[in-house]
Amino acid sequence: MSVAIKANRLTPYMFLAPAGIILIFALLYPIGYMIYASFLDWSPSQRIGQAEFIGFRNYVNLWGDEAFRESFWVTIRFAAIVVTLEMFLGVGLALLLDRNIKGMAVLRTVFILPMMIAPIVVGLMWRYMYHPTVGIFNRTLKSFGFEGIPWLSDSTWSFIAIVIADVWQWTPFIFILALAAMQSLPRSALEAAEIDGASEWQKIILIKLPLMMPVLIVTLLLRLIDAFKVLEVILVLTNGGPGLSTEILALRIFRTAQEFQELGEAAAMSNLLLMMLMAITIGMFAYSRVQEARVARQRAAAEKDDD
Amino acid sequence: MPRIRLENLVKRYGDFEVLHGINLEMEENEFTVLVGPSGCGKSTTLRMIAGLESVSDGEIFIDDRPVSNLEPKARDLAMVFQDYALYPHMNVARNMSFALRLQRRPKKEIDEKVGKVADMLGLTNFLHRKPGELSGGQRQRVAMGRALTRDAGTFLFDEPLSNLDAKLRGQMRAELALMRQKVRKNMIYVTHDQIEAMTLGDRIVVMHGGYIQQQGTPEELFKRPANKFVAGFLGSPPMNFLEAEVQDLSGRAFVSGNGFELVLPDEKAAAVSSASSKGVTLGIRPSDLHYSPDAPEHESIDLQVIVSEYIGAQSVLLCDCGGQKVEVELKSETPIALGETLRFAVNREGIHMFDRETEVAIR
C-alpha cells in the first residue's frame, strides 16, 4: 500500500481528532475522575492521592441517608409534575396558535421568550415577584383584600412556587417543538378527516395527536432529562428550603460538596443521577430505534408486493 | 342522487382573481371531468365544491340547496385526494371505516360495508396493514375504498391517478371505469390528462385561465371544438395548426397558406364567408390526414418528412409544410425516407378553422 493511499485513509480520523481530544479531556476524563472519587473518603483539604479508599461505603451511606432519599423523591416529584404540566400547556398552546391570523408570528416569538432568559436571571425575577411584601403577587392579592401567600417560606407553597417558575420557563420549549410537528402534519389527511365528518376536537384527538406522538415522546424525554438536572432557578429562589421541601438532587450534590465538604459522597450522588439520566437517554434512543425499524419493515413489506 | 349547480363562482386570493365566474350544471349520476393545464382553476373549483376553499362570490347548489357556507361534512361528499391522504396511523380497515365510526354506526354494519368494498377492490388481504406497508397502487385503492365505504351522494376525485407510474395508471383507469359502471353516483373528476378525461367522462369541462372553455360529451369536444385551445388540448398526437387565408376563386372557396391550397366543403365556405376576417388558423388532426400518393391536388397536402418516431404499428412523422410543422401518423411498414415529400389526403370533415385574432372556431 502506497503512502498516499494510507494518508488518504487516515484523513477522516485526522479531521475527527480535535473533537475526539476535547471529548476525552472535557468529558471522559472528568467522568472517570468522578467515578473514582465516589469510592473515596475525600475532603477538599486533601489531594486526591491522600484520600482513603473506602469501596462502596459512600453508596451504602447514601441508601441510609434520609436527607438524600428525601431530595431524591423531591426531584422525582418535581420532574413528574413540571413535565406533565408543561406537556399539556405546550401542546395545548400549539394547538391553539397553529393558525394563520395576523400578528401570530409576533405572538409566537413572545411565547418563546422565557426560554431564552438565563436561568439565574429567571430565578432572581421570580424571587422578586414572590417577595412576601413587595412582590407583585402578594401586592395584587392584598389590593383585592386577600391575605398574602407565604410563597417561599411555606414548604408546600415553595414547592408550588418553583413548579410555576419552571413551567413558565420551559413550556415554550414544548410549544415550539409541538408547533413544528403540527405544521409538518400532512394537510390533506386533515382535509380528508374534515370531509369524513370529523369535528375540530375529533381532528385533534383522532388525527393530530396520534400523528405527533413520536415527536411528543422524544420531547417529553428531553424535558425529563432536563428537569432532573435543574439547579440554578431553585438555588436562587429557595436554596432548597424551607427544610428539605425543595431540595432537588442537583442542589443536594452542590451542598454536599460545598457545605459538607464530602467530595466522595457528592461524587457518588452525581454518579447515581448520571445513571438515572443515562437510563432515560438509552430509553429515548431505543424508542427511536424501534420506530426506525418499524418504518423499514413497513417499507420492505410494501416493496415486496408492489404490483 | 343530487344535481350540482355552480352559479357565477368566483375565487380570489387577495386582489388576485383565479376563477372568473364559473357556470356549470351537473346532472344526476353524471361523471363530470374537469380538465385543463395546471393553474387553470380546476382543482380550486373542486375544492370549493368540497368546502375546503371558501367561495369569494357566486353560489354552489347541491339539489337546489345553497351550500357555500356549509362545512364540508354537511355537504354529503366523499373525496379521493391526489396524494391519497390516508391516515398513516390507522390500518386499512380503520381508514375505510373512519367516517362511519364518526357517525357511530353499529359495528356490524361497519364491518359489513368495509368487507363489501374491500372485496370489490381486492383489498381483503390488506385490511390489517397500515398505509406505510402498502404499494402505491394499493394505497390508491384504499383511498377509493374509503370514499366508497362512506356511501356519500357525490364523489370528488382530485387527480387521483397522477402519482402512479404509467402502467399502473392505465390499469387503475380501467378499474375506475369498471367501478363507474357499478356505482351510480355523481362524480366530479379533476385531471390534467386528456386521455383520462376522454375515457372516463360523460361530460368534459375544459378549463383554461380560470374560465370554462367548452363543455360537452367527449365526442362533441373532439369533433366540434369551440376554440383553438380546446382543439389543441384534446387528442393525441395534438391537432396541427397552420396559418392560412381564405380565398374565393371562380366561385369556389379555398383555404391556402405556405405550401398548401385546399378546397373548402360548402358548409365551411358558408360559415367563413359570414366571418369578419379572412385570416384564419387551419386545424387538422393527424388522424384526418391519410397517406395517399394519388389524391387530387386541392384535397391533399404535400409534406416533407423531417423526423420519424417509431412507436410500434404506427409511426408519428414530424413534417414540414412551407416552414410550418405538421404531425401525421403512418403505418410503420410504409417505405419512406427522411427528406422525402409525401402526399396526404385531407378528410373533408377534419378541416377546422379558427379566427386568427379571437381563436374562436368558425363553423
The complex scores an ipTM of: 0.81
- Residue B32 to chain A, least CA–CA distance (Å): 20
Q: Flag the least confident range among A217-226, B40-49, B176-185.
A: B176-185
By the CB < 8 Å criterion, does A277 face chain B? no
> Residue B133: which of A186, A206, A302 has the nearest Cβ?
A302
Coil vs helix vs strand at B234: coil
* pLDDT band for position B176 (cuts 50, 70, 90): confident
Superfamily name and number for A17-304: MetI-like (1.10.3720.10)
Residue of A nearest to B74 (CA): A197
Residue numbers in chain A where pLDDT is lower than 50: 307
Say what the pTM is: 0.79
Give the dihedral of Cα atoms B14, B15, B21, B22; nearest 10 deg: -50
By the CB < 8 Å criterion, does B86 face chain A? yes
Q: What is the mean pLDDT of residues B185-207?
A: 91
In the prediction, which pLDDT does A307 show? 46
Q: What is the mean pLDDT of residues B30-37?
A: 92
Identify the CATH assignment for B240-355 out of 2.40.50.100, 2.60.40.10, 3.65.10.10, 3.40.50.300. 2.40.50.100
Q: B159's torsion region: left (phi>0), alpha (psi -120 to 50) or beta?
A: left
All 3 cell numbers of residue B113?
360495508
In the prediction, which pLDDT does A64 show? 83
By the CB < 8 Å criterion, does B54 face chain A? no
Q: Please give the interface size between A and B, counted as residue pairs whose CB atoms are below 8 Å apart.
A: 79
Cis ω before B72 (30° cut-off from 0) = no
All residues of chain A having their beta carbon less than 8 Å from the beta carbon of residue B72 are 191, 194-195
By the CB < 8 Å criterion, does A196 face chain B? yes
Strands B203-208 and B31-35: parallel
By the CB < 8 Å criterion, does B103 face chain A? yes
In the prediction, which pLDDT does B86 show? 92
> Residue A298: which of B84, B130, B138 has the nearest Cβ?
B130
Q: What angle separates helix A66-97 from helix A249-258, to the nearest 10 degrees?
A: 140
> Residue A210: which of B89, B102, B133 has the nearest Cβ?
B89
Strands B252-257 and B240-249: antiparallel
Q: Are residues B208 and B34 in contact, defined by beta-carbon separation less than 8 angstroms? A: no
Q: How far is CA A44 from the centre of its chain?
A: 30
Distance (Å, whole) CA B315 – CA B311: 5
Q: Are residues A40 and A54 in contact, defined by beta-carbon separation less than 8 angstroms? A: yes
Between A83 and B27, name the one with better pLDDT. A83
Q: What is the pLDDT of residues B207-265, one digit of tens each?
A: 999 999 999 999 999 999 999 999 999 988 899 999 988 887 777 888 888 888 888 88
Going by the DSSP 8-state scheme, the letter that residue B192 receives in this structure is: S
User: Is B133 in Cβ contact with A307 (below 8 Å)?
Assistant: no
Q: A150's torsion region: left (phi>0), alpha (psi -120 to 50) or beta?
A: beta
Residue with cell 371531468: B33
Superfamily name and number for B4-233: P-loop containing nucleotide triphosphate hydrolases (3.40.50.300)
Residue ranges per domain, chain B? 4-233, 240-355
DSSP β-bridge partners for residue B315: B310, B330
In the prediction, which pLDDT does B153 show? 86
Distance (Å, whole) CA B348 – CA B264: 8
In the prediction, which pLDDT does B45 show? 92
Q: Are residues B263 and B254 in contact, defined by beta-carbon separation less than 8 angstroms? A: yes
Distance (Å, whole) CA A42 – CA B39: 77
- Provide the residue type at A32 as one letter: G
Distance (Å, whole) CA A82 – CA A160: 10
Coil vs helix vs strand at B8: strand
> Residue B50: which of A195, A198, A307 has the nearest Cβ?
A195
DSSP β-bridge partners for residue B214: B206
Q: What is the pLDDT of residues B52-107, one digit of tens each?
A: 999 999 999 988 889 988 888 888 889 999 889 999 899 999 999 999 999 899 99
User: At a CB cut-off of 8 Å and minimum separation 6, what does B10 contact?
Assistant: B17, B19, B20, B21, B22, B55, B56, B57, B58
In the prediction, which pLDDT does B188 show? 93
Q: What is the pLDDT of residues B320-360, one digit of tens each?
A: 988 889 999 988 888 888 888 999 999 988 899 998 888 88
